[in-house]
Amino acid sequence: MTEINPVTDLSRDGNVAIVTLNSPPVNALSANVRDGLATAFQQAKADPEVKAIVLICDGRTFIAGADISEFGGQMKGASLFDVQKEIEESPVPVVAAIHGTALGGGLEVALCAHYRVAVPSAKCGLPEVNIGLLPGAGGTQRLPRIAGVEKALEMVTSGQHVPAKQCLDMGLVDELAPEGKLKETAVAFARKCIAENKPLRKVRDNNDKLQAAKGHPEIFANFRKANARKFRGFKAPEANIQCIEAAVNSASFEEGQQAERKLFMELMMGDQSAAQRYAFFAERQANKIPDVPDDTPTIPIRKVGVIGAGTMGGGISMNFANAGIPVTVVEMKQDALDRGLKVVRGNYERSAKGGRFTMDDVEKRMGLLTGSLNLEDLKDCDLVIEAVFERMDIKKDVFARLDGVVKQGAILATNTSYLNVDEIASATKRPEYVIGLHFFSPANVMRLLEIVRGEKTSKEVIATSMKLAKTIGKVAVLVGVCPGFVGNRMLAQRTREANALVLEGAMPWDVDRVLYDFGFPMGPFAMGDLAGLDIGWVKENSRSSTIREVLCEMDRRGQKTGAGFYDYDENRNAKPSPVTEKVIADFRAKQGINPRTISDEEILERCLYPMINEGAKILEEKKAIRSSDIDTVWLNGYGWPVYRGGPMFYGDRVGLDKVLAKMTEFQGRMGDAFKPSALLEKLVADGRKFADVK
Ligand code: T1G
């Protein structure tokens, strides 16, 4: 065994050379890895006794891509192209041995090998689109030559990780190795290449599958049309499609690769990829809690209790059943319990009908859910989550009763979206075991989980909750106790301004359009109609005091009544409503407001800058650990377009001096709701950004 460099070894097994990478955490193609690979292959090829080469990785995975943390900086060492050339031009067969995930540049390296062997649990993909890029090392030129154009289009624009069996079926992998026997299987495969004098098969030379697509531009037109909604606002998917088109229409591999290179550089230099790469690391940074070290002991969560089988309780329960953790769901009345479990079963059956999993899986997951009317049945749970009414008295009563029933050492969590977790904890004798687990509706779908640490919440309970979030596939952000925590506290700013703008002269559909064009999936008024305008509305107490109340009093309660701010046709397609227009005009008249024309720019600034300012206050008060945590909340819980990075990233990009100037102008015009935060003023004075706040 020769150590080529700290991350690369070269060894021999008879006449088969073995190049082994070991660069934790994911063998990303850092400068060290690229140098090691180039040198190892040069040395292996220079050895006359070597008749074949195996490329394999130690650790959790095959190469998971280029080292994203290197982007934007000066690239050092051997280029990825140099490495690929060493492999593809090898005079002896090269076999890539894949486990874990061969992604991005990792798969592009494997595609330069002459053959590929993988274990069944391995996956291959070109997920660069998720960080606003495209496979820049020939992936868009080689993949369609193996998988065909349609499959390649799907893979590069979705970033999907394709399981090894499917890779075998499409020819991306040549043989499956038994789990745990990858190395010996790959070496045996290499020996077979030698014995059978297998050809040095280069993917780049195989044009058959491209021929099949030549003269069929409709393949691309149809693909674009079918995915227009999904790709709206993003630059990378279209660039990926153009690369696959170039593979089909170019006269040579080199010509296609030139097109790929040009489009790659355009994306790499653009704002969207910078934002999406930032979002990638922000999500992972959120797992790092400065005062809760990685080795903090955690509490094993083997049995969960959920109180409330409504929309939230049912959705929360599904997360644990999906992860194979048994859940006891407690309701007060049998019919509510039955109804709740029926909704859960319906959700699962819909997923099964959609092919997401089998009816068997439905029964398995339902089998993990036990209904009960008795809190006593929660006594041996390791974690109990309440999802009852958002009223402090009700929550405190539930927690006091849980405290008396549930075993010592179990975690008691509240799903409150707003209320003071410390006050809830004060109803128990175990405040160190009380925490907020704020799920977002629909709880079985939305990835975000705001984890609210109380004053007395212990580090073990925090560490356990952060780890549990990963187990149930959530993106966890640790936040502090304050009204609305991080997401809803900032949303309140946008909601206030959206309503104010409509009073002053904008129409709901103007505000929605501006935010939709910014990249949100829908604006606040369309969202209100979707959720129902009557959430929290009580007919008896309604006094036409807001436009929303007037609409509810007219039974225009949103999509479910066929009309809200918008009118809806039988397919729930929305259109601006003259009825709403009149309601707004009358309402303004009653308030003595003379409407004015409001520019799209003012609508956007009035909706977003107060949110950014509130984010600054959250940072000042230490209710979020870092500005990128705030962005992770908005990217995963509120539909902030990932290609704009999040509110704080966006503020840094716009320029905090501009945000401050606008907030000061608005404050002068409309009062202290726009008072700039002290942190915003300080950062501007110091010429610093939110990203600099540690
Ligand atoms: N570069 C740098 N660091 C990376 C990385 C990468 N490609 N992938 C993961 N990490 C770090 C991550 O930040 C975290 O660090 C740790 O590894 C574990 O990651 C030329 C241009 C592989 C499926 O997009 O999808 O190749 O927080 O928490 O949940 O055409 O990581 O521990 O300090 O996510 O088990 C293309 C991105 C790159 C793959 C593992 N490749 N990575 O998931 O662990 S661009 C990707 C992932 C490219 C070429 C183009 C996932 C994973 P820390 P993790 P995981």
All residue ranges of the chain with pLDDT < 70 are none
Q: Is residue 69 lining ligand 1, measured as CB closer than 6 Å?
A: yes
- Ligand 1 pocket test, pick from 23, 26, 108, 267 with the greatest ligand atom count within 8 Å of Cβ, gives 26
Nearest CA to ligand 1 atom 38: 65
Our answer on whether the CB atom of 140 is closer than 6 Å to any ligand 1 atom is no
Catalytic residues: 108, 128
Helix (H) or strand (E) holding 439: strand 434-439
Give which of 506, 500, 493 is closest to 576, Cα–Cα: 506
Res 181: pLDDT:
98
For ligand 1, say whether the CB of 26 is within 6 Å of any of its atoms.
yes
Phi/psi-derived region of residue 482, left when phi > 0, alpha when psi is between -120 and 50, beta in every other case: beta
Q: Are 146 and 172 in contact (CB under 8 A)?
A: yes
Question: Which residues neighbour 145 within 8 Å (Cβ) at sequence distance 6 or greater?
Answer: 203, 204, 206, 207, 209, 210, 247
Q: Which atom of ligand 1 is nearest to the CA of 287?
A: 27
b/e code 108-136 from CB counts within 10 Å (16+ = b): bbbbbbbbbbbbeebbbbbbbbbbbbbbb
Pocket lining: 272 vs ligand 1, CB cutoff 6 Å: no
What residue owns the CA closest to ligand 1's atom 55?
Answer: 26
Q: Is 544 exposed, middle or buried (0-12, 13-18, 19+ CB in 10 A)?
A: middle
Q: Which tokens hold the place of 639?
A: 């539909």
- Answer whether 480 contacts ligand 1 (Cβ < 6 A): no
Domain extent listing, the chain: 2-268, 304-482, 506-591, 600-692
Q: Are 57 and 20 in contact (CB under 8 A)?
A: yes
Ligand 1 binding pocket includes 436 (Cβ within 6 Å): no
Q: Give the per-residue pLDDT at 617.
A: 98
Closest ligand 1 atom to Cα of 66: 26
CB 322 within 8 A of CB 365: yes
Ligand 1 centroid to residue 665 C-alpha, Å? 43
Of 364, 374, 316, 320, nearest to 343 by C-alpha is 316
Residues 6+ apart with CB under 8 A from 4: 10, 36, 39, 40, 43
Closest atom of ligand 1 to 130 CA is: 24
- Ligand 1 proximity of 107 Cβ (cutoff 6 Å): no
User: Atom 9, ligand 1: which residue's CA is nearest?
Assistant: 26
Q: Which ligand 1 atom is the nearest neighbour of the CA of 281?
A: 13
Which atom from ligand 1 is nearest to the alpha carbon of 65? Answer: 26
246 CA distance to ligand 1 centroid (A)? 28
Give the pLDDT confidence score for residue 105 in this predicted structure: 98
Evaluate whether 304-482 and 600-692 have a shared fold.
no
Distance (Å, whole) CA 56 – CA 14: 17
Q: Is 133 in the pocket of ligand 1 (CB under 6 A)?
A: yes
25 lines ligand 1 (CB under 6 A): yes
Answer whether 683 contacts ligand 1 (Cβ < 6 A). Answer: no
Distance 302 CA to ligand 1 centre (A): 29
Q: How far is the CA of 65 from the centre of ligand 1 (A)?
A: 7
Counting from 1 in the atom list of ligand 1, the atom nearest the Cα of 133 is 21
Give 26 Cα–ligand 1 centroid separation in angstroms. Answer: 7
Predicted pLDDT of residue 567: 98
| Separation CA 627–CA 642 (nearest Å) | 15
| CB 297 less than 6 A from any atom of ligand 1 | no
Exposed, middle or buried, 514 (CB in 10 Å: 0-12/13-18/19+)? buried
Q: Cα separation of 556 and 120, whole Å?
A: 54
Cβ atoms of residues 347 and 305 within 8 Å: no
For residue 264, the model assigns a pLDDT of 97
CB 689 within 8 A of CB 683: yes
Candidates 2.40.50.140, 3.90.1560.10, 3.90.25.10, 1.10.1040.50; CATH matching 600-692: 1.10.1040.50
Contact by Cβ (8 Å): 87, 111: no
pLDDT number for residue 536 = 85
Instruction: Give the closest residue (by CA) to ligand 1 atom 46.
Output: 65
Place of tokens 């080795």: 295
Which residue from 458, 456, 453, 460 is spatially nearest to 436, judged by alpha carbons?
453
467 CA from centroid of ligand 1 (Å): 19
Residue 263, phi-psi category: left (phi > 0), alpha (psi -120 to 50), beta (remainder): alpha
Instruction: Say which residue the tokens 């969590």 belong to.
Output: 413
Token pair in block for residue 276:
């999406």
312 within 8 A of 415, measured Cβ to Cβ: yes
Residue closest by Cα to atom 28 of ligand 1? 284
State if residue 127 touches ligand 1 by the CB under 6 angstroms criterion: yes
Domain 506-591 has CATH 2.60.40.10: no
For a substitution probing ligand 1, which of 68, 69, 109, 276 has the most ligand atoms within 8 Å of its CB? Answer: 68
The CATH class that applies to domain 2-268 reads: alpha beta
Is the CB–ligand 1 distance for residue 252 below 6 Å? no
Task: Give the 3-state secondary structure percentages of the chain, helix then strand then coil, rounded to 5.
Answer: 50, 15, 35
- Going from the Cα of 130 to the center of ligand 1, the distance in angstroms, rounded, reads 11
| Ligand 1 mean position, distance from CA 627 (Å) | 21
Closest C-alpha to 285, from 632, 648, 23, 621 = 632
Which residue, among 219, 104, 207, has the nearest Cα to 150 in the 3D structure?
A: 219
Q: Under CATH, which architecture does the 304-482 domain have?
A: 3-Layer(aba) Sandwich (3.40)
- The answer to whether the CB of 95 falls within 8 A of the CB of 117 is yes
Report the atom number in ligand 1 closest to the C-alpha of 69: 2
pLDDT at 356: 85
User: What is the CA(107)–ligand 1 centre distance, in A?
Assistant: 13
Alpha carbon distance 19, 42 (integer Å): 11
3-state helix/strand/coil string of 227-287: CHHHHCCCCHHHHHHHHHHHHHHCCCHHHHHHHHHHHHHHHHHCHHHHHHHHHHHHHHHCC
| Element at 97 (helix H, strand E) | strand 94-98
At 334, list the tokens. Answer: 């049998």
User: Cβ(294) to ligand 1 under 6 A?
Assistant: no
Long-range contacts of 206-211 (CB under 8 A, 24+ apart): 206/145, 206/146, 207/145, 209/144, 209/145, 209/146, 209/147, 209/148, 209/149, 210/144, 210/145, 210/149, 210/247, 210/248
For 636-671, b/e burial (b = at least 16 CB within 10 A) is bbbebbbbbbbbbbbbbeeebeebbebbeebeeeee
Within 10 angstroms of residue 216's Cβ, the number of other Cβ atoms is 12
The set of residues, in sequence order, having a beta carbon less than 8 Å from that of 342 and lying 6+ positions away, is none
Determine the pLDDT at residue 402.
97
The helix (H) or strand (E) run that includes residue 168 is: helix 164-170
102 CA distance to ligand 1 middle (Å): 11
CA distance 40 to 617: 53
Ligand 1 atom closest to the Cα of residue 108 is 30
Q: CA dihedral defined by 60, 22, 127, 653, rounded to 10 degrees?
A: 110
d(CA 501, CA 507): 8
612 pocket-lining for ligand 1 (C-beta < 6 Å): no
Pocket flag, ligand 1, residue 132 (CB < 6 Å) = no
Q: What stretches of 426-486 show up as alpha helix (H) in DSSP?
A: 459-471
Q: How far apart are the first and last CA of the chain?
A: 44
Distance 64 CA to ligand 1 centre (A): 6
